[in-house]
A and B are shown apart, each in its own frame.
Chain A
Amino acid sequence: DIQMTQSPSSLSASVGDRVTITCQASQDIKTSLSWYQQKPGKAPQLLIYDDSHLNTGAPSRFSGSGSGTDFTFTITTLQPEDIGTYFCQQYDDLPFAFGPGTWVDIK
């Protein structure tokens, strides 16, 4: 099974900062990677699919890049409403797997 890791596990940044989260797969998943945002008490929302494609309705300050085993998620200008947990997920091979999540907070 493919294992996913994420770093950092949490971060605190100021409004307007650039925020970067990394995700690593235990084997090559090509570009079959998505990113989700989950706000407290809510269901996850898809932000990025196929490594770098912005989902309909997701703000353009969110972006993704990478391929193979190493991926990066970026918030170019952190906003107060971006508080939450961010998860990566691979869907290259079953069973699909999520990363452990990164909690993003505002300083």
Chain B
Amino acid sequence: QVQLVESGGGVVRPGGSLRLSCAVSGFTFTSHSMTWVRQAPGKGLEWVAVISYNGGFTYVADSVRGRFIISRDNSNNTLFLQMNNLRSEDAAIYYCARGRTTTNFSPPDFWGQGTLVTVSS
């Protein structure tokens, strides 16, 4: 069955960095775009970034542009989110999600359980 497992979350000081990973299984990784979505405690969903099926196209939200980088390793079925210069407002549960189709413009249809990022001094 389709599985997405995030890791790499934790506590980091403001200005620090973290690299989130999302290991996937149960489907052909190279047939789907992939997305990161975050959710601050008690808040709604915020779309963060998307990457095309082959990694050739990426797009990140304005709120994280210049600080976050989305990438993927298709040889190892893994999605990444490199987060630099973290701010208190970046604290959230980060979900990786599979795009429903190969195209970048498709909604996420399977989600991981999320990894918690806490930004605190």
**Could you tell me the dominant secondary structure of chain A's interface residues?**
loop
Mask: chain A, 56-85; 1 = CB below 8 Å from B; 0 = not: 000000000000000000000000000001
- How many chain A residues touch B (Cβ–Cβ < 8 Å)? 25
Q: Please tell me if the beta carbons of B113 and A94 are within 8 angstroms of each other in the complex.
A: no
Interface size on B, residues (CB 8 A): 23
Known contacts A95-B59, A101-B45; is-contact A43 B107 (Cβ 8 Å): no
- A79-107, CB < 8 A from B: 85, 87, 89, 91-92, 94-101
**Between A and B, how many residue pairs show CB distances below 8 Å?**
57
Q: How far is the CB of B97 from chain A (nearest CB, A)?
A: 8
| Any A CB within 8 A of the CB of B62 | yes
Closest B residue to A1 by CB, please name it: B62
Q: B96 to nearest A CB, angstroms? A: 10
* CA distance in complex: A100, B43 (Å): 8
Q: Which residues of B contact A95 (CB under 8 A)?
A: 47, 59, 61-62
A87 to B61, CA, bound (A): 18
Contact of A97 with B47 in the complex, beta carbons under 8 Å: yes
User: Which of A38, A95, A99 has the most chain B CB atoms inside 10 A of its CB?
Assistant: A95
Smallest CB gap from B114: residue in A: A43
State which residues 85-108 of B face A: CB under 8 Å: 95, 100, 104-108
Interchain CB contact under 8 A, A46 and B44 = no
**CA of A98 to CA of B104, assembled, Å:** 16
Interface presence of B73 (CB below 8 A): no
Measured between beta carbons, the chain B residues less than 8 angstroms from A44 are 37, 45, 95, 108, 111
B44-79 vs A, Cβ < 8 Å mask (1 yes, 0 no):
111100100000000101100000000000000000
Report B-chain residues with C-beta under 8 Å of the C-beta of A99.
44
Give the residue of B95, B106, B111 whose beta carbon is less than 8 angstroms from that of A91. B106
